[in-house]
Structure 1
Amino acid sequence: MEFLQLKYFQAVAKHEHMTMAAKELNVSQPSLSNSIHRLEKRLGIPLFERQGKGIRLNRFGKTYLRRVEQAFRELEEGEREVTDMAGLERGVVTVSVTLPYVLPTLLKEFLTYHPQVRIIQRQLGSAVEMKAELENAEIDFCISTTPVTGPDIEWLVLVEEELCLTVPKAHRFAGRGSISLSEAANEPFISLSSNSNFREITDAFCRQAGFEPHIAFELEEVSAVQTLVEMGLGITFTLPLSLGRRASSPETVQLQITEPRCKRTFGISWNRKHYLSEAAIHFRQFVIDFFSR
């Protein structure tokens, strides 16, 4: 069985479309079709159901695909392990971080000590996506406010922080140091997308305070949310640590929420079965030390 043949099968299984798979692989469609046919002939079973011009992975194909992808992951792990034998200076760390403003400071400090390490950031939105990437060994770590757990996933708490209510400097609440969340029941909120985990959490806090938040703006980027608050268009929930320097913006005021207590936990997660390079191990310890400060 040829390695290339398995790569062809993986691509066809992903697209369930010969033309699209051939385009991705940069091979002719007849050549790809012949390769799949030879694989099925060797196994003695069909891997796809043919439906007119379309194809669909059958139950044999789905089982075989899981094994093929597992084999490829093992090969990738082996490649990483061998490369890592060259030392820390050649390491690569792949990480998903849901704290956008803390990332530049964290990376700057780490790379000061380890300038040859290459950091790759993956932009993932939900806990489900992060868990899948960790399980498939597509990322080394996830640093987030959402616990990512699973049979093979380790979650380590880094620090706990209270959410604040951020208001424009000219807002009627701006002269206060604290607030009961119920007092903001009629305020326009500027929030992240309803698909985000952080939005689910803040909506739940509002309901705990006895109201459904009035969402005036729903945005995808934290930076855009903060910009609209600075423009005086509404208020929002924030985690001061996740905002970094922008937490001290002269255009906004952060209020402590006294009731209910709105706390979030930052943590780092990784797959204990996934091989971690020397660079990744150093990065994990650095993150732990960084948040402890």
Structure 2
Amino acid sequence: MNTDYLRYFATLAELQHYGNAAKELNISQPGLSHAIRSLEKDYGLPLFEKTGRNVRLSPYGLELKKHIDVILNNLDKLEQTISDFHREDKIIRIASVYPLAGSFIPELIQSCSVKFPFAIYNGMTPDILHGLENMAYDLGFCSGQPSSELFEYCPVQKSYVGIVVPKGHELISKETFTFHDITAYPQIFFTRTSPMRKLQEQIYKDYQISAAPACEAEEIEVILNMIEHGFGISVLPYLDIFKNRNIDILPLSETKWESTFYAIRRRDSVRSQGEKTIWSQIIHNSKMDRLEF
């Protein structure tokens, strides 16, 4: 299939005049006529019919144009994608769970030695992994390690786990506190689609406690709002976003539960220079900090 000939066909179909179409395409009129005759010979169908000095699509040409338009549109997208791969200023698409999107990622990018355009999208870990798999994102920041060999990952932040309660909650005034004390209060859980839910359930299992959620939410921001409004308390990993909220956190003293966040990317992707720079900074920070957050 000669894609140039398809573009000639589309231009002639639009302008309906050989001379005007040839001028638009910057080719000779005999060259355009030869291309159209070649297409008609290959397809065994008349694609155009004369109307005075002009031409118009034949019934066959009208039907084929629908498919040719799709082919040309996809070719344009392909060429743009290839062009983007070679651009140094390609926008880096970064997807992140909410806890890291507010400050961690901007600070990470700011620490890189060069500037580059980027976009940050918020989402849940399963959605981010799906987006990475489909190449909708270049980098992902998730809770929990990916199980697929399609990805490579690096830990970027650890957080201790505690009991998060509203400011002034009666648990704060207790001289001694155990995990079992929280069972007297409504529990707020992550939804089952979140890896954080697995962490919550594992902690309860470790303490041999059974608790039914009074309410659930997908995002930690929503859970914090529920806690502030008195809907219950929750077992959560400590994050910087807690600092300006009307809550208190009681660290679990009986175990050393930790929640780890990871930077994730496809192993086989074509990398822009900006993406390479971010990943190098992630590896550097991991080695330097030893994850002592």
Range class of TM-score, shorter chain: 0.5 to 0.7
Structure number with bigger Rg: 2
Report if the CA contact (8 A) 1:95-1:122 is conserved: yes
Instruction: Give the C-alpha shift of residue 290 in structure 1.
Output: 5.7
The match for 1:247 is 242
SS at 1:148's partner residue?
coil
SS at 2:253's partner residue?
strand
The match for 2:262 is 267
SS at 2:209's partner residue?
coil
Which segment is superposed worse, 173-182 or 144-153? 173-182
The match for 2:95 is 96
SS at 2:84's partner residue?
helix
What does 1:193-272 correspond to in 2, within 5 Å? 193-241=191-239, 244=240, 246-249=241-244, 251-272=246-267
Instruction: Give the C-alpha shift of residue 147 in structure 1.
Output: 0.6
| Cα 1:289/1:190, change in 2 over 3 Å | farther
| Cα 1:75/1:202, change in 2 over 3 Å | farther
Deviations, residues 133-156 of structure 1 (Å, cap 9, x unaligned): 223322111111211242231111
One-letter amino acid of the structure 2 residue matched with residue 265 of structure 1: T
Instruction: Give the C-alpha shift of residue 226 in structure 1.
Output: 0.8
Quick one: which of 146, 156, 159 aligns to 2:157? 159
SS at 1:185's partner residue?
helix
Deviations, residues 90-115 of structure 1 (Å, cap 9, x unaligned): 231112211x2432323443258678
Report if the CA contact (8 A) 1:153-1:270 is conserved: yes
Give the Cα–Cα distance (whole angstroms) in 2 for the partners of residues 178 and 158 of structure 1. 33
| Cα 1:180/1:73, change in 2 over 3 Å | farther
Report if the CA contact (8 A) 1:182-1:210 is conserved: no
Instruction: Give the C-alpha shift of residue 165 in structure 1.
Output: 1.1
The match for 1:83 is 87
Give the Cα–Cα distance (whole angstroms) in 1 for the partners of residues 174 and 76 of structure 2. 57
| Cα 1:33/1:250, change in 2 over 3 Å | closer
The match for 1:276 is 271
Give the Cα–Cα distance (whole angstroms) in 2 for the partners of residues 211 and 33 of structure 1. 66
SS at 2:103's partner residue?
helix
The match for 1:35 is 67
TM-score w.r.t. structure 1 length?
A: 0.64
What do you get for the CA RMSD once the two structures are aligned? 3.6
Give the Cα–Cα distance (whole angstroms) in 2 for the partners of residues 72 and 143 of structure 1. 31
Task: Say whether 1:118 aligns with 2:121.
Answer: no
Query: Identical aligned pairs, as a percentage?
Result: 15
Give the Cα–Cα distance (whole angstroms) in 2 for the partners of residues 188 and 209 of structure 1. 17
Give the Cα–Cα distance (whole angstroms) in 2 for the partners of residues 73 and 177 of structure 1. 65
Report if the CA contact (8 A) 1:191-1:218 is conserved: yes
The match for 1:150 is 148
Instruction: Give the C-alpha shift of residue 231 in structure 1.
Output: 2.6
Deviations, residues 213-232 of structure 1 (Å, cap 9, x unaligned): 23222223322211221233
**Pairs aligned (count):** 227
Where structure 2 has 5 or more consecutive residues not aligned to the other structure, the ranges are: 7-61
Deviations, residues 191-235 of structure 1 (Å, cap 9, x unaligned): 222322212321222122222223222223322211221233311
Report if the CA contact (8 A) 1:134-1:270 is conserved: yes
| Cα 1:231/1:275, change in 2 over 3 Å | same
Where structure 1 has 5 or more consecutive residues not aligned to the other structure, the ranges are: 6-29, 40-68, 85-89
